[in-house]
Amino acid sequence: MGFLQQLSTLLFLSTMAFCMGNDDDPSFKLNDDVLGLIVFKSGIKDPSSYLDSWNEDDSSPCSWRFVQCNPSNGRVSEISLAGLGLSGKIGKGLQKLQYLKVLSLSHNDFNGSIDELGSIFTSLQSLNLSHNGFSGKIPNFFVMGSMKSLDLSGNLLTGPIPVGFFQTCSSLESLSLADNSLQGPLPTTLSRCSNLNNLNLSKNQFSGTVEYLGSMNKLQTLDLSYNSFSGTIPEKAMAAIDDLKELHLQVNHFTGPIPDSITSLKNSISSIDLSNNMFTGDFPQWIGTLSNLEHLDFSTNSLTGNLPPSMGNLKALKLLKLSNNKVEGNIPPSLASCSQLSAIDLRDNDFNGSIPSGLFQLQSLQDLDISRNSLQGNINVGMGAFAKIKYLNLSWNNLRSRIPPEIGLFQNLTVLDLRNNGLLGDIPGDLCEAGNLGVLQLDGNSLTGPIPDEIGNCSSLYLLSLSHNNISGSIPKSMSKLRMLKILKLEYNELSGEIPHELGFLGNLLAVNVSYNRLTGRLPAGGIFPSLGQSSLKGNLGLCSPLLNGPCKMNTPKPLFLDPDLYNNQMGDHRRRNDSSSTTRFDHHMFFSVSAIIAISAAVLIVSGVIIISLLNVSARRRQAMVEAALESMCSSSTRSGSLPTGKLILFDPKLSPVGVDNPEVFLEKESEIGEGVFGSVYKVSLGAQGRIVAFKKLVTSKIIEYPDDFDREVRVLSKARHPNLIALEGYYWTPHCQLLVTEYAPNGNLQTRLHERLSSTPALSWSERFKIILGTAKGLAHLHHSFRPPIIHYNMKPSNILLDEKSNPKISDFGLARLLTKLEKHVINNRFQSALGYVAPELACQSLRVNEKCDIYGFGVLILELVTGRRPVEYGEDNVVILSDHVRISLEQGNVLDCVDRSMADYPEDEVLPVLKLALVCTSQIPSSRPSMTEVVQILQVIKTPIPHQMEIF
């Protein structure tokens, strides 16, 4: 191929030269197409040999596969190579195809620059390069010309759009630049594209305002989502675009009210997504006029006001999402006449009043989330309710009600979340009649009575959480039938007796918490039970486990598990209590008749062939429930009080939605715990579709920062610190008792391990690696100190905070904790940080001086000393203590400083090691003002590494 390629290139160049001035000779033009395509083919990889028919001996390419010619001139007009698994650079060959109008290379693995299309770009009518690996900028000489349709989506293009790009844009009908890394404001010449129907700029880093939108009055779909656009949506713009069908502005920084002029779209618009912006003002009262609206998403804005009764006019509405706003008042009962609704999400608003009972009758509804409002009253499910519901979340309201037993009839219900309400009475035994329930969360209510034996019928259950109730009786043995169960939370109840040993057979269990009950006896011998820690078991009457601190207290006179009769009696008790409850029996009765009716009506629905439009990804919701439960359990050991965490996982990169956690189980696996940070455990977790690994670091202590908004602001500041030598901060999880930071994950361990705890099989760090670590760390610190006002101070420089990549490039982690913890009590800081013995600058020991960046420079100096000498900053001998900096300083004065250099480092240049040691001593000066700044340190290090004929004496 290499030879052919060279040959073709030669041919190509010579033909180019030969063609000059011969444009009118038809015989050459025919060959141009063959030649151009052969040159193109020779430069790419075609693993499935799709292009075998492209033969350089042919005089015309018109019979070749994927090639079409214009019959009138016999020249190639169309090439369509979508999805053929081709790769490589496109080369300059295609520039020869002067009559080409349509080119599609989409869904291949082409890479390199798109420059190579050259001037044919301007004569093309349709170009589709979507879903490849093209990189670099859009070249300045690309001008629309006669282009009607341009699709560059799903590549790696960067930089701004050149100003001339839209210069002559009147032919353009469809443009997608989505899913690249393009940035900057759009050129205002975009307003010349007056015939544009579809504009998709989604998933880039475009910024600036959008006042020019109004001149593109033929737009039908407009997608600006996932960018950094800002400003208001001009009233004029929406009034001008009459035919708009889809408006996607989600995940930007738009502000101001939702423009009233959207009403002018009343006959066309079917989809509006304004979610994740900063829109303010009242929820639009005119919404009812948009009669074709199917998809309405205003979630995560700052909208206020009420939902108008005219919502009921939206007969086509399938999806309604308003979560995370400040909308108040009642949920209008008229909503129940939107009979197509398949998803309603009103989570986290200020709705009050009761839940309109009509909602439960919506036959298409699959997903109902009205959690985190102030809804009151009963849950009135009634007959014939919810044929298709899969996800039902009423948690965090003030519902005072029994759990309606009809819920057990919802055939496809997979997630039921009723946490934190005032639910009363027993847990109905029939909750799992339909058998699909995977997540059952009833925590934080006032439920009484026992866990029903029928819980064993919930065969699909993998998360069962009943904690913080007044549930009594013993844990039923039937729970051992829950083969899928992964998480079991029963803490803070009145459960008594022993844990049935059969639960030890539950092989999928990853987390169990039975703390604060009245349980006694020995733990099941199998499964997860023997490894349960104190936080899962404490606060019981007499649970015994080798892992529980303190002596095993058997408060009961005799251990129950030794006495089979006692065990049976207890089960007997339990059953008796169940049977004697007349209300329970009544519910059963009710239940069967309702069950029959619903079963029949469901069958009718199925027979009549109702088409189900699945807008929802329930498995994503299930995963989200798992993620939340898992995060809570990471935090569980710190929730001392009876209250539940109100957790929220925030990830700064919108492409990494929390739902994207591939495998939430990893949160809970023992191996996912990878170490100890300053304030607690560090976990390794895979996020997102590509399974990108991140670390979760626990910041548990007493209250760190009391207000989530303060915490959010501080963490966002730290997340702006992006540098190759810093571990990036990606997000956080917040509850009043526990905070987790989400950071970049470095797979190759830290400097502490590499330097002091290395296995004998691992070679010692070489001098050039050590120098690279010193210089990289210095650059990272310099970035923290000099790119932020006020500077970010690390405050805890030590080798275990320097993570290494496979090429020994250092990345500083845990920076900025001091900033994050400013509100933390002083003694906690001291107790936690003093453990980094030897790194603490002397002025901090006496706490009178303010923390500033000079403390980090001291710590950095100690780190250099440690890297050069391979010794720890403080070492205890038999009868002496060696302070490393003093030791090196004295050796230097005595002229034998090279004796301090780490002997495991075979070979090193003295003219680098010596000045580096001197730099370290200046950095560890006792007087803060004599220490250099980090930028000076970086400069000095770079001078040390620069080969100078006669090494200058720099100290």
Ligand X SMILES: *[C@@H]1O[C@H](CO)[C@@H](O)[C@H](O)[C@H]1NC(C)=O
CB of 113 to ligand X, least distance (A): 8
How many residues can be counted in the chain? 955
- Identify the bridge partners of residue 109 per DSSP, sorted by sequence position: 87
Taking CB under 6 A as the rule, which mask of x and - marks residues 7-46 in contact with ligand X?
----------------------------------------
- Footprint on residues 595-614 left by ligand X (CB under 6 A): 602, 606
Q: What distance lies between CA 104 and its chain's CA centroid?
A: 33
Among 77, 95, 106, 513, binds ligand X (CB under 6 A): 106
Among 411, 570, 646, 663, binds ligand X (CB under 6 A): 411
Looking at the Cβ atoms of 204 and 885, the one nearer to ligand X is 204
Q: For residue 151, state whether it binds ligand X (rule: CB under 6 A).
A: yes
Instruction: Please classify residue 206 by burial: count the beta carbons closer than 10 Å to its beta carbon, then call 0-12 exposed, 13-18 middle and 19+ buried.
Output: buried
Looking at the Cβ atoms of 222 and 359, the one nearer to ligand X is 222
Q: For residue 621, state whether it binds ligand X (rule: CB under 6 A).
A: no
Taking CB under 6 A as the rule, which mask of x and - marks residues 361-390 in contact with ligand X?
--------------------------xx--
- Footprint on residues 720-739 left by ligand X (CB under 6 A): none
* DSSP H helices in 133-242: 235-240
Looking at the Cβ atoms of 390 and 468, the one nearer to ligand X is 390
Annotated ligand binding at 101? The verdict is no
Looking at the Cβ atoms of 102 and 849, the one nearer to ligand X is 102
CB of 386 to ligand X, least distance (A): 9
CB of 77 to ligand X, least distance (A): 17
Among 74, 112, 118, 329, binds ligand X (CB under 6 A): 112
User: Which of these segments, 103-111, 260-268, 680-688, 796-804, binds ligand X (CB under 6 A)?
Assistant: 103-111
For residue 808, give the amino acid letter: S
Which positions ≥6 away from 484 have C-beta within 8 Å? Answer: 438, 459, 460, 461, 462, 508
Q: For residue 153, state whether it binds ligand X (rule: CB under 6 A).
A: yes
User: Which of these segments, 102-110, 731-739, 761-769, 925-933, binds ligand X (CB under 6 A)?
Assistant: 102-110
Q: For residue 174, state whether it binds ligand X (rule: CB under 6 A).
A: yes
User: Which of these segments, 197-205, 283-291, 664-672, 770-778, binds ligand X (CB under 6 A)?
Assistant: 197-205
Among 178, 196, 537, 857, binds ligand X (CB under 6 A): 178
**What whole-number distance in Å separates Cα of residue 286 and Cα of residue 274?**
16
Q: For residue 82, state whether it binds ligand X (rule: CB under 6 A).
A: yes
Between β-strands 648-651 and 67-70, what pairing exists: parallel, antiparallel or unpaired? Answer: unpaired
Looking at the Cβ atoms of 602 and 922, the one nearer to ligand X is 602
The SS3 of residue 371 is: coil
Q: For residue 414, state whether it binds ligand X (rule: CB under 6 A).
A: no
Looking at the Cβ atoms of 96 and 248, the one nearer to ligand X is 248
Q: For residue 98, state whether it binds ligand X (rule: CB under 6 A).
A: no
CB of 417 to ligand X, least distance (A): 19
- For residue 790, cis peptide bond before it (omega within 30 degrees of 0): yes
User: Which of these segments, 3-11, 64-72, 145-153, 631-639, binds ligand X (CB under 6 A)?
Assistant: 145-153
633 and 513 Cβ atoms separated by less than 8 Å: yes
Looking at the Cβ atoms of 106 and 420, the one nearer to ligand X is 106
Number of residues that bind ligand X (CB under 6 A): 31
User: Which of these segments, 151-159, 489-497, 551-559, 835-843, binds ligand X (CB under 6 A)?
Assistant: 151-159
Which positions ≥6 away from 941 have C-beta within 8 Å? Answer: 771, 774, 775, 778, 916, 919
The SS3 of residue 421 is: coil
Q: To 10 degrees, the CA torsion angle through 822, 825, 829, 830? A: 130
Residue 54, Ramachandran bin (φ over 0: left; ψ between -120 and 50: alpha; else beta): beta
CB of 187 to ligand X, least distance (A): 20
Smallest CA-to-CA distance from 488 within 528, 525, 454 is with 528
**What whole-number distance in Å separates Cα of residue 923 and Cα of residue 777?**
14
**What whole-number distance in Å separates Cα of residue 224 and Cα of residue 233?**
12
Among 8, 132, 189, 202, binds ligand X (CB under 6 A): 202
Looking at the Cβ atoms of 107 and 236, the one nearer to ligand X is 107
Among 132, 189, 197, 200, binds ligand X (CB under 6 A): 200
Among 123, 340, 363, 412, binds ligand X (CB under 6 A): 412
Q: Could you identify the residue written with the tokens 């090429």? A: 807
Q: For residue 657, state whether it binds ligand X (rule: CB under 6 A).
A: no
103 and 81 Cβ atoms separated by less than 8 Å: no
695 and 681 Cβ atoms separated by less than 8 Å: no
- Footprint on residues 214-253 left by ligand X (CB under 6 A): 221, 223, 246, 248
Looking at the Cβ atoms of 84 and 863, the one nearer to ligand X is 84
Among 149, 227, 420, 739, binds ligand X (CB under 6 A): 149
What are residue 885's phi and psi, to 5 degrees?
Answer: -65, -40
In angstroms, the Cα distances linking 810 to 751, 779, 784 are 8, 10, 15
65 and 48 Cβ atoms separated by less than 8 Å: no
**What whole-number distance in Å separates Cα of residue 78 and Cα of residue 68?**
5
Among 104, 250, 397, 624, binds ligand X (CB under 6 A): 104
Q: For residue 172, state whether it binds ligand X (rule: CB under 6 A).
A: no
Smallest CA-to-CA distance from 394 within 360, 426, 364 is with 360
User: Which of these segments, 47-55, 148-156, 272-280, 659-667, binds ligand X (CB under 6 A)?
Assistant: 148-156
Question: Which residue number places its CB atom closest to ligand X?
Answer: 178
Q: For residue 270, state whether it binds ligand X (rule: CB under 6 A).
A: no
User: Which of these segments, 171-179, 279-287, 354-362, 716-724, binds ligand X (CB under 6 A)?
Assistant: 171-179
Residue 665, Ramachandran bin (φ over 0: left; ψ between -120 and 50: alpha; else beta): alpha
CB of 558 to ligand X, least distance (A): 50
Q: To 10 degrees, the CA torsion angle through 151, 152, 154, 159? A: -150
Q: For residue 128, state whether it binds ligand X (rule: CB under 6 A).
A: yes
Looking at the Cβ atoms of 126 and 395, the one nearer to ligand X is 126
Among 15, 68, 87, 122, binds ligand X (CB under 6 A): 87
User: Which of these segments, 104-112, 294-302, 582-590, 937-945, binds ligand X (CB under 6 A)?
Assistant: 104-112
* DSSP H helices in 475-563: 534-537
CB of 86 to ligand X, least distance (A): 10
Sign of the C-alpha dihedral, residues 292, 295, 301, 302?
positive
Looking at the Cβ atoms of 49 and 580, the one nearer to ligand X is 49
**What whole-number distance in Å separates Cα of residue 165 and Cα of residue 577?**
78
- Separation of first and last alpha carbons in the chain: 58
CB of 296 to ligand X, least distance (A): 15
| Tokens matching residue 183 | 């940035």
User: Which of these segments, 158-166, 176-184, 425-433, 696-704, binds ligand X (CB under 6 A)?
Assistant: 176-184
199-205: long-range contacts at Cβ-Cβ below 8 A with a sequence spacing of 24 or more? Answer: 199/175, 199/223, 199/224, 200/153, 200/175, 200/176, 201/176, 201/177, 201/227, 202/178, 202/226, 202/227, 202/248, 203/178, 203/179, 203/227, 203/655, 204/177, 204/178, 204/179, 204/180, 205/181
Q: For residue 130, state whether it binds ligand X (rule: CB under 6 A).
A: yes
Going by the annotation, the residues of the binding site are 697
* Site residues, ligand X (CB under 6 A): 82, 87, 104, 106-107, 109, 111-112, 128, 130, 149, 151, 153-154, 174, 176, 178-179, 200, 202-203, 221, 223, 246, 248, 387-388, 411-412, 602, 606
| Binding-site positions for ATP | 697
